[in-house]
Amino acid sequence: MPSVTGKKIFLTGGAGFIGSSMTAALVSRSADVIVYDNLSSGKLEFLKPFMKKKNFKFIKGDLLDRRHLSKVLKSNDIDLVIHMAANPDVALGTKRTDLDLNQGTIATYNIVDEARKNDIGSIMFSSSSVVYGIPRIRPTPEDYGPLLPISLYGASKLASEGLITAYSHLYGIDHYIYRFANVVGVNLTHGVILDFVNKLKKNRRELEVLGNGKQRKSYIDVVDCVNAMLHIYSKSRASGNLYNLATEGQTSASDIANMVIAKVSPAARIRYTGGSQGWPGDIANTYLSNKKMLDAGVKLSFKKSIDAVRNGINVCPNAPA
CB 266 → ligand NAD: shortest distance, Å? 27
- Taking residues 144 to 183 in sequence order and writing x for each that binds ligand NAD by CB under 6 A, - otherwise, the string is ------------------------------------x-xx
62 binds ligand NAD (CB under 6 A): yes
Residue from 30, 76, 94, 189 touching ligand NAD (CB under 6 A): that is 189
Q: Work out the number of other CB atoms within 10 angstroms of the CB of residue 253.
A: 23
Query: What residues contact residue 269 under an 8 Å CB cut-off, 6+ apart?
Result: 205, 206, 207
- Alpha-carbon gap, residue 34 to 51, rounded angstroms: 11
For ligand NAD, the closer of residues 90 and 207 by Cβ is: 90
Stretch that binds ligand NAD, among 56-64, 114-122, 231-239, 263-271 (CB under 6 A): 56-64
Stretch that binds ligand NAD, among 7-15, 49-57, 209-217, 234-242 (CB under 6 A): 7-15
Stretch that binds ligand NAD, among 83-91, 232-240, 278-286, 298-306 (CB under 6 A): 83-91
Q: Are 268 and 261 in contact (CB under 8 A)?
A: yes
| DSSP one-letter string for 96-137 | STTHHIIIIIIHHHHHHHHHHHTT--EEEEEEEGGGG-S-SS
- Alpha-carbon gap, residue 105 to 111, rounded angstroms: 10
CB 304 → ligand NAD: shortest distance, Å? 17
For ligand NAD, the closer of residues 42 and 213 by Cβ is: 42
For ligand NAD, the closer of residues 42 and 139 by Cβ is: 42
| DSSP one-letter string for 167-226 | HHHHH--EEEEEEE-EEESTT--SSHHHHHHHHHHH-SSEEEESS-S--EE-EEEHHHHH
How many residues at the interface with ligand NAD, by CB under 6 A?
Answer: 29
CB 177 → ligand NAD: shortest distance, Å? 11
Q: Are 173 and 112 in contact (CB under 8 A)?
A: yes
230 binds ligand NAD (CB under 6 A): no
Q: Are 69 and 109 in contact (CB under 8 A)?
A: no
For ligand NAD, the closer of residues 107 and 268 by Cβ is: 107
Name the residue among 260, 91, 241, 89 with its Cα closest to residue 174: 241
Query: What residues contact residue 289 under an 8 Å CB cut-off, 6+ apart?
Result: 139, 140, 141, 142, 244, 246
| DSSP one-letter string for 9-52 | EEEETTTSHHHHHHHHHHHHTT-EEEEEE--SS--GGGGGGGTT
Stretch that binds ligand NAD, among 74-82, 84-92, 284-292, 298-306 (CB under 6 A): 84-92
Q: Please state whether beta strands 80-83 and 122-128 pair in parallel, antiparallel, or not at all (unpaired).
A: parallel
For ligand NAD, the closer of residues 103 and 140 by Cβ is: 103
241 binds ligand NAD (CB under 6 A): no
103 binds ligand NAD (CB under 6 A): yes
Cis geometry, peptide bond prior to residue 146 (ω within 30 degrees of 0):
yes
85 binds ligand NAD (CB under 6 A): yes
CB 36 → ligand NAD: shortest distance, Å? 6
- Taking residues 11 to 40 in sequence order and writing x for each that binds ligand NAD by CB under 6 A, - otherwise, the string is -xx-xxxxx-----------------xxxx
CB 83 → ligand NAD: shortest distance, Å? 8
CB 64 → ligand NAD: shortest distance, Å? 5
Residue ranges in contact with ligand NAD by CB under 6 A: 12-13, 15-19, 37-42, 62-64, 84-86, 88, 103, 107, 126, 128, 180, 182-183, 189, 191
